[in-house]
C-alpha cells in the first residue's frame, strides 16, 4: 500500500516475548476456575497385562473423592478416538479410552477426581488393580520374531500394515544392476521424547443446564480436539468449545486428543463441573506419545561417474501399542522424502508399521524428514568414500538445479522453487576454516555438509484425499477492520511459542498499509476461529494462514479504499492513503486523500462504513470483514544445507560440535528474528537427537528414562558458540506472499550433519555411524572395534 508500512521482512520483537518473560503467561495451570476439581490417573505399572480387576472401593469411600471412572465406567461413557491416516490393512482403526488390556506401562486405565491434586494422587494409588501379566513385546525385533506374543488383535505377526511409495521394483532392480557402487546400511533412529517446557494439561468444565462443555487444553490443534471429543463423548459440535491458552511448546506431541485428556472431559461431564489435570514431567515421560522410532535397511546405487541411480529403503516403524491418529504418518513421509534434493533414476521405499508394547509414537518436529535426511545423507557420504569423491562434490553433481524446477520426484512430490546448489555451496563456504593449531593428538576434527528439503504448506486437500487422510488441508482467516479502525485477525492456527501471532500481524498490517500496533491477532478458540483441521503443525501455519491473509488484506484494503473514495466523491484510483508510522486511526495523519485537499481519516471511514453511510455510493458491499479460505494448489518446498564441525575425542568417544552453519531457503521471511529463533531451536533439538537423546525401556518393557536425570537434553553449553544461520530467499511460487515453512527445517539436518562430520573425522568407523544417538559409549565401542583406541 504505502511505502511507510513495510512490515514483512522486519525483525520485529515477537509479541509474546516480553509478556512471557515477565511472567504474564497464561498457561493451563495458571487459568482460574471456580470450584475446580483435580484429576489423577490410575496407570498401568506393567507393559502388557489383562485388567482383571479395578477396585476403587477404598478411594470412593474417602470424603475427598468426587469421582472414580474405571474401565467399565469409561466403556459406558466413551467411544474410541478415531484415526485419520491408516496404513493399508491396518486392523486397529481407533484408540479406545476404556481398556481392559494394558498394552504399555503408563497407559491410563482410570481417572480419579478429588478436591485437591494431592488427594487425587493419593486416591489413584488407593485403587487396587488386579492385573494378569501378559508377555511384553518391547522392541520391533521382539514383535517380528517367530511366535511373538500378539499385541493388537487381528494384526498378524504384529504388523499393522504396509505401504510402498515410489518407483516400481523393476526400476529399482535395474538401477542396482547397472550401478558401479551400491551402498547398503542398516539404520536406527531411536524413540525420543518431545520434552516441551510445558507438559500436557486439560481444564474441562461442563454445565448441565446449557449442555456446554468448555475445554481449555495445552493443544496445538483445538479444532481437531473438538472433533475428537465429539466422537468420544457423543456430544454435538455446538456443545463443545476448545480453547488453547498459552502453550509452552508441543513439537508434534499435542496434535491429537489423548485417552487421558478424554477421561478428564468425560469426568467433567459426569460431574457437571470443572476438572483440571496438569501433567507431571514423570507422566509426560511415560504417557505422552514419542517421536522417531524407525529402523531402516536402505541402499543407494551410484554410477561410475557419481550419478545417483536409485535410493531404496525398507522402513520399520515402531508404532507402539496403538497406531495413533496419524499412525505411521511420519514414516510415510520418510518414504516420500527419501530422495531429498537430488536427481535419481529411481527412488522407492516401503513402510511397515509394527505394534510393540510401548507408548505409541507419532508426530515430532521434522515428521519423518529428519529420518529421511539421516538415512540419505549417510548413504551419500558412504558412497563418496567408496568412489573416492569429495562428499560435497558428489552432492553438487546430483542436486536438482534451479532450471530443473518445478521437478516431480519418484514419489510424486513437486518441488516448486529454490536453488539447492547455492544453499549447499554457501554452507560449505561458511564452514571452511583452518583447524585450530592446538588440537591434542587424541582429538580428530572434521566438517561435513548435508542437504534436505522441507515439506511446507501441508497440504492441498486433494493431496490429503489421495493419501486417504480424513482431513482438510486449507486454512481460513477472518480479517476485520473494527468500527474504530483497529484491525482484528482470527485464524484457526495457534501460537505454541513460535511467534505466529506476530508474523500474522505483520502480514495484515502490510496488506492494509497500517501501523503494526493497530492489529490484534486472536487464535486458539474454536468458538471464534475459522475451522482448521491441521492448525499449527507441519511447517504450515505461516504459509497457509499467512497466504490466506495476504489475499484477505488485499481485498479488504481495496474495499476500504472504495469506501473512502465514495465519501470523497472520487474514483478509488484517485485516492491515496497516507498513514504516519505513529498515528492512531483517528489522527489526521492517518487519512485517505482525494482531490483539492479533501480527506477522511481511517477511523472515520471505518465508522461510517459500519453505519452504512457508504451505501448510496459505488460500494455495493461495505462489510469491513473478509473471510478467506486458502487451499494451496500444491505443496511448497523450503530447503536447506547444514554444515557441522565436530571434534572427536578418541579416548572417551565424546563428540563435541565445535561449529555449526545452517543455510535455509524459507522463501520470503516475514520476521527474520522469528526465523532465526525457529531455526536455532530446531538445531538444538536436532543436536540432542544426534548426540544424547533416547527413550529407553528395560527388558520387561518398563520405561528407564523417566526424568531429565536419565534423559539428557542438550544444554546451552552443548550448542556451539559458532552457530551461524543464513537465508537465501527464493519466493514460493505457490503461496501468496511467497512464504515457505521453517518450523521444522532446523531440526531435520543436525543428526545427518553430525554423523557425517564424525565419519569424516574418523573414517575408520564411518560405516558404523548409522544409529543414533552418537553417545560416547557408542562411539568408543566403534573406535575400539576399529582398533583405534
Ligand atoms: S511434527 Mo508437527 O507438530 O507437524
- Model pLDDT for residues 365-410, shown as the tens digit of each residue: 999 999 999 999 999 999 999 999 999 999 999 999 999 999 999 9
Q: How far apart are CA 323 and CA 467, in angstroms?
A: 16
Angle of helix 750-761 relative to helix 369-387, nearest 10 degrees? 20
Are 68 and 201 found together in one domain? yes
Of 263, 287, 311, the one marking the end of a domain is 287
331: Cβ contacts below 8 Å, ≥ 6 apart? 294, 315, 317, 351, 353, 368, 371
Give the tens place of pLDDT for each residue, 700-710: 999 999 999 99
Q: Parallel, antiparallel, or unpaired: how do β-strands 475-481 and 443-456 relate?
A: unpaired
Domain assignment present for residue 152? The answer is no
Q: Which of 195, 538, 689 to mutate to test the pocket of ligand 1 (most atoms within 8 A of CB)?
A: 538
SS (H, E, C) 734-754: CCCCCECCCCCHHHHCHHHHH
Could you tell me if the CB of 364 is within 6 A of ligand 1? yes
* Helix, strand or coil, per DSSP, at residue 168: coil
Work out which ligand 1 atom sits closest to the CA atom of 537. 4
579-603 CB burial, b ≥16 within 10 A, e <16? beeebbbbeeebbbbbeeeebbbbb
Work out which ligand 1 atom sits closest to the CA atom of 253. 3
Domain assignment present for residue 347? The answer is yes
Could you tell me if the CB of 252 is within 6 A of ligand 1? yes
pLDDT of 5 over the 80 cut: no
Q: By the 8 A CB rule, do 241 and 52 touch? A: no
Of 614, 630, 646, the one marking the end of a domain is 630
Q: How far apart are CA 746 and CA 743, in angstroms?
A: 7
pLDDT confidence bin for 694, thresholds 50/70/90? very high
Nine cell digits for residue 279: 501433567
Are 739 and 604 found together in one domain? no
Which DSSP string do the residues of 695-738 spell out, in sequence order? --B-TTS-BS--STTTSPPP-GGGS-S-EEEEE-----SSSTT-
Q: How far apart are CA 727 and CA 720, in angstroms?
A: 19
pLDDT of 2 over the 50 cut: no
Are 620 and 699 found together in one domain? no
Q: How far apart are CA 779 and CA 345, in angstroms?
A: 35
At which residue does the C-alpha cell 515430532 appear?
Answer: 364
Are 208 and 93 found together in one domain? yes
Could you tell me if the CB of 367 is within 6 A of ligand 1? yes
Q: How far is the CA of 457 from the centre of ligand 1 (A)?
A: 12
pLDDT of 1 over the 50 cut: no
449: Cβ contacts below 8 Å, ≥ 6 apart? 391, 392, 395, 424, 427, 428, 431, 641, 642, 643, 753, 756
Q: How far is the CA of 467 from the centre of ligand 1 (A)?
A: 17
> Residue 189 pairs with which residues in a beta bridge?
294
Could you tell me if the CB of 292 is within 6 A of ligand 1? no
Could you tell me if the CB of 256 is within 6 A of ligand 1? no
Q: How far apart are CA 775 and CA 89, in angstroms?
A: 38
**Residue 89: left (phi > 0), alpha (psi -120 to 50), or beta?**
left
- Tell me the CA distances in angstroms from 781 to 69, 379, 382, 607, 676, one per residue in order: 50, 21, 20, 74, 37
Are 104 and 234 found together in one domain? yes
Q: How far apart are CA 84 and CA 581, in angstroms?
A: 47
Work out which ligand 1 atom sits closest to the CA atom of 220. 3
Are 388 and 527 found together in one domain? no
Rounded average pLDDT over 214-239: 97
With CA atoms as reference, report the closest residue to 746 among 674, 694, 658, 654: 674
Q: What is the pLDDT of residue 615?
A: 63
SS (H, E, C) 213-236: EEEEECCCCHHHHHHHHHHHHCCC
Q: What is the pLDDT of residue 435?
A: 86
Q: What is the pLDDT of residue 521?
A: 98
Give the tens place of pLDDT for each residue, 324-360: 999 999 999 999 999 999 999 999 999 999 999 999 9
617: Cβ contacts below 8 Å, ≥ 6 apart? 563, 565, 566, 567
Least confident of 102-106, 434-438, 542-546: 434-438
Q: By the 8 A CB rule, do 328 and 316 touch? A: no
Domain assignment present for residue 646? The answer is yes
With CA atoms as reference, report the closest residue to 419 among 449, 399, 390: 399
Domain assignment present for residue 265? The answer is yes
Could you tell me if the CB of 360 is within 6 A of ligand 1? no
Give the tens place of pLDDT for each residue, 300-330: 999 999 999 999 999 999 999 999 999 999 9
Q: How far is the CA of 312 from the centre of ligand 1 (A)?
A: 25
> What is the ipTM, given to two decimal places?
0.96
Cα 33 off chain centre by: 30
Nine cell digits for residue 512: 492494509
pLDDT of 156 over the 90 cut: yes
Q: How far apart are CA 522 and CA 465, in angstroms?
A: 30
Average pLDDT over the chain reads 96
Q: By the 8 A CB rule, do 527 and 241 touch? A: yes
Structural domain total, the chain? 3
Q: How far apart are CA 80 and CA 232, in angstroms?
A: 6
Nine cell digits for residue 617: 455510493
Nine cell digits for residue 627: 473471510
With CA atoms as reference, report the closest residue to 232 among 442, 80, 63: 80
- Tell me the CA distances in angstroms from 558 to 284, 512, 575, 576, 619, one per residue in order: 49, 9, 11, 12, 11
Of 582, 605, 630, the one marking the end of a domain is 630
Rounded average pLDDT over 177-202: 98
Could you give the angle at the alpha carbon of 714 between the alpha carbons of 719 and 665, nearest 5°? 55
Are 540 and 522 found together in one domain? yes
What is the DSSP-derived secondary structure letter of residue 188? Answer: E
Count of CB atoms situated within 10 Å of the CB of 67: 21
pLDDT confidence bin for 361, thresholds 50/70/90? very high
**Can you list the alpha helix ranges (DSSP code H) found in 517-596?**
541-567
Are 536 and 611 found together in one domain? yes
Domain coverage including residue 511: 3-24+474-630
| 3-state class percentages of the chain: helix first, strand second, coil last, to nearest 5 | 35, 25, 40
Give the tens place of pLDDT for each residue, 585-630: 999 999 999 999 999 999 999 999 888 776 655 555 568 999 999 9
CA atoms in the 13 A half-sphere facing the CB of 84? 21
* Helix, strand or coil, per DSSP, at residue 627: strand
Are 126 and 237 found together in one domain? yes
At which residue does the C-alpha cell 454445565 appear?
Answer: 207
At 571, which CATH number?
A: 3.30.365.10
Domain assignment present for residue 148? The answer is no
Q: What is the pLDDT of residue 680?
A: 97
Work out which ligand 1 atom sits closest to the CA atom of 252. 3
Work out which ligand 1 atom sits closest to the CA atom of 540. 4
Q: How far is the CA of 537 from the centre of ligand 1 (A)?
A: 4
Q: By the 8 A CB rule, do 98 and 107 touch? A: no
Domain assignment present for residue 259? The answer is yes
Domain assignment present for residue 297? The answer is yes
Q: How far is the CA of 465 from the centre of ligand 1 (A)?
A: 19
Q: What is the pLDDT of residue 340?
A: 98
Could you tell me if the CB of 370 is within 6 A of ligand 1? no
Are 577 and 672 found together in one domain? no
With CA atoms as reference, report the closest residue to 602 among 509, 489, 505: 509
Are 323 and 224 found together in one domain? no
% residues pLDDT > 70 (the chain): 98
**Can you list the alpha helix ranges (DSSP code H) found in 400-456?**
420-431
Q: Which of 196, 218, 224, 252 to mutate to test the pocket of ligand 1 (most atoms within 8 A of CB)?
A: 252
Are 274 and 400 found together in one domain? no
At 204, which CATH number?
A: 3.90.1170.50
Smallest CA separation from ligand 1 atom 3, residue: 252
* Helix, strand or coil, per DSSP, at residue 688: helix
**Residue 104: left (phi > 0), alpha (psi -120 to 50), or beta?**
beta
480-496 CB burial, b ≥16 within 10 A, e <16? bbbeebbbbbbbbbbbb
Q: How far is the CA of 740 from the centre of ligand 1 (A)?
A: 15
Rounded average pLDDT over 625-653: 97
Could you tell me if the CB of 363 is within 6 A of ligand 1? yes
Domain assignment present for residue 215? The answer is yes
Amino acid at each position: 500500500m504505502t511505502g511507510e508500512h513495510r512490515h514483512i521482512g522486519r525483525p520485529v520483537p515477537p509479541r509474546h516475548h516480553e509478556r512471557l518473560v515477565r511472567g504474564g503467561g497464561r498457561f493451563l495451570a495458571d487459568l482460574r476456575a471456580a470450584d475446580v476439581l483435580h484429576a489423577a490417573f490410575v496407570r498401568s505399572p506393567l507393559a502388557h497385562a489383562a485388567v482383571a480387576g479395578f477396585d476403587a472401593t477404598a478411594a470412593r469411600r474417602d470424603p475427598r473423592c468426587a469421582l472414580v471412572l474405571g474401565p467399565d465406567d469409561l466403556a459406558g461413557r466413551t467411544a474410541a478416538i478415531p484415526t485419520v491416516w491408516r496404513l493399508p490393512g491396518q486392523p486397529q482403526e481407533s484408540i479406545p479410552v476404556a481398556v481392559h488390556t494394558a498394552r504399555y506401562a503408563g497407559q491410563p486405565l482410570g481417572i480419579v477426581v478429588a478436591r485437591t491434586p494431592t488427594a487425587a494422587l493419593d486416591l489413584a494409588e488407593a485403587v487396587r488393580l488386579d492385573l494378569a501379566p501378559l508377555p511384553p513385546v518391547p522392541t520391533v525385533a521382539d514383535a517380528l520374531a517367530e511366535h511373538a506374543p500378539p499385541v493388537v488383535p487381528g494384526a498378524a505377526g504384529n504388523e499393522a500394515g504396509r505401504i510402498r511409495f515410489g518407483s516400481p521394483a523393476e526400476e529399482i532392480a535395474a538401477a542396482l544392476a547397472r550401478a558401479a557402487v551400491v551402498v547398503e546400511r542398516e539404520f536406527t533412529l531411536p524413540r525420543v521424547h518431545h520434552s516441551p517446557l510445558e507438559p500436557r494439561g486439560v481444564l474441562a468444565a461442563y454445565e448441565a443446564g446449557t449442555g456446554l462443555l468448555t475445554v481449555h487444553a495445552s493443544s496445538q490443534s483445538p479444532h481437531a480436539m473438538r472433533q475428537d471429543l465429539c466422537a468420544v463423548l457423543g456430544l454435538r459440535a455446538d456443545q463443545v468449545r476448545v480453547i488453547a491458552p498459552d502453550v509452552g511448546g508441543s513439537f508434534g506431541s499435542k496434535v491429537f486428543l489423548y485417552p487421558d485428556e478424554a477421561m478428564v472431559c468425560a469426568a467433567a461431564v459426569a460431574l457437571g463441573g470443572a476438572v483440571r489435570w496438569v501433567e507431571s514431567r514423570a507422566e509426560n515421560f511415560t504417557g505422552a506419545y514419542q517421536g522417531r522410532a524407525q529402523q531402516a535397511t536402505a541402499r543407494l546405487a551410484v554410477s561410475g561417474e557419481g550419478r545417483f541411480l536409485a535410493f531404496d529403503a525398507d522402513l520399520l516403524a515402531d508404532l507402539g501399542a496403538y497406531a495413533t491418529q496419524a499412525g505411521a504418518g511420519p514414516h510415510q513421509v520418510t518414504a516420500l522424502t527419501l530422495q531429498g534434493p537430488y536427481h535419481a533414476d529411481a527412488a522407492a521405499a516401503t513402510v511397515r508399521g509394527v505394534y510393540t508394547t510401548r507408548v505409541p509414537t507419532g508426530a515430532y518436529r521434522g515428521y519423518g524428514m529428519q529420518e529421511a535426511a539421516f538415512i540419505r545423507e549417510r548413504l551419500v557420504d558412504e558412497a563418496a568414500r567408496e568412489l573416492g569423491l569429495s562428499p560435497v562434490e558428489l552432492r553438487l553433481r546430483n542436486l536438482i538445479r534451479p532450471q530443473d524446477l518445478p521437478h516431480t520426484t519418484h514419489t510424486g512430490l513437486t518441488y516448486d522453487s529454490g536453488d539447492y546448489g547455492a544453499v549447499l555451496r554457501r554452507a560449505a563456504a561458511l564452514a571452511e576454516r583452518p583447524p585450530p593449531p592446538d588440537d591434542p593428538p587424541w582429538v580428530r576434527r572434521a566438517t561435513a555438509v548435508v542437504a534436505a528439503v522441507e515439506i511446507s504448506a501441508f497440504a492441498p486437500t486433494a493431496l490429503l484425499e489421495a493419501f486417504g487422510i480424513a482431513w482438510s488441508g486449507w486454512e481460513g482467516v477472518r480479517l476485520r477492520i473494527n468500527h474504530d479502525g483497529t484491525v482484528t485477525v482470527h485464524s484457526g492456527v495457534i501460537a505454541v511459542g513460535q511467534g505466529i501471532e506476530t508474523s500474522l500481524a505483520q502480514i495484515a498490517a502490510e496488506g492494509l498499509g497500517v501501523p503494526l500496533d493497530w492489529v490484534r491477532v486472536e487464535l486458539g478458540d474454536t468458538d471464534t476461529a475459522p475451522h482448521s483441521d491441521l492448525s499449527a503443525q507441519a511447517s504450515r501455519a505461516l504459509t497457509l494462514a499467512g497466504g490466506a491473509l495476504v489475499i484477505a488484506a488485499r481485498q479488504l484494503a481495496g474495499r476500504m479504499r472504495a469506501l473512502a473514495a465514495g465519501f470523497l466523491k472520487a474514483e478509488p484510483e484517485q485516492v491515496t492513503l497516507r498513514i504516519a508510522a505513529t498515528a492512531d486511526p483517528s489522527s489526521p495523519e492517518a487519512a485517505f486523500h482525494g482531490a483539492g485537499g479533501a480527506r477522511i481519516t481511517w477511523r472515520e471511514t471505518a465508522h461510517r462504513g459500519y453505519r452504512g453511510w457508504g451505501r448510496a455510493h459505488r460500494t455495493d458491499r461495505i462489510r469491513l470483514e473478509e473471510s478467506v479460505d486458502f487451499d494451496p494448489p500444491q505443496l511448497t518446498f523450503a530447503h536447506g544445507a547444514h554444515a557441522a564441525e565436530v571434534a572427536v575425542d578418541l579416548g572417551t568417544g565424546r563428540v563435541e560440535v565445535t561449529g555449526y552453519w545452517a543455510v535455509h531457503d524459507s522463501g520470503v521471511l516475514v520476521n527474520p528474528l522469528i526465523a532465526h529463533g525457529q531455526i536455532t531451536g530446531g538445531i538444538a533439538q536436532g543436536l540432542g537427537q544426534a548426540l544424547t537423546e533416547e527413550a529407553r525401556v528395560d527388558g520387561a518393557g518398563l520405561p528407564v528414562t523417566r526424568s531429565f536425570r536419565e534423559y539428557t537434553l542438550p544444554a546451552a553449553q552443548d550448542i556451539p558458540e559458532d552457530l551461524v544461520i543464513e537465508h537465501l530467499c527464493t519466493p514460493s511460487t505457490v503461496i501468496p506472499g511467497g512464504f515457505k515453512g521453517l518450523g521444522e527445517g532446523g531440526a531435520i539436518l543436525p543428526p545427518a550433519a553430525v554423523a557425517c562430520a564424525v565419519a569424516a573425522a574418523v573414517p575408520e568407523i564411518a560405516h558404523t555411524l548409522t544409529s543414533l544417538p552418537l553417545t560416547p559409549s557408542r562411539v568408543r565401542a566403534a573406535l575400539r572395534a576399529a582398533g583405534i583406541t
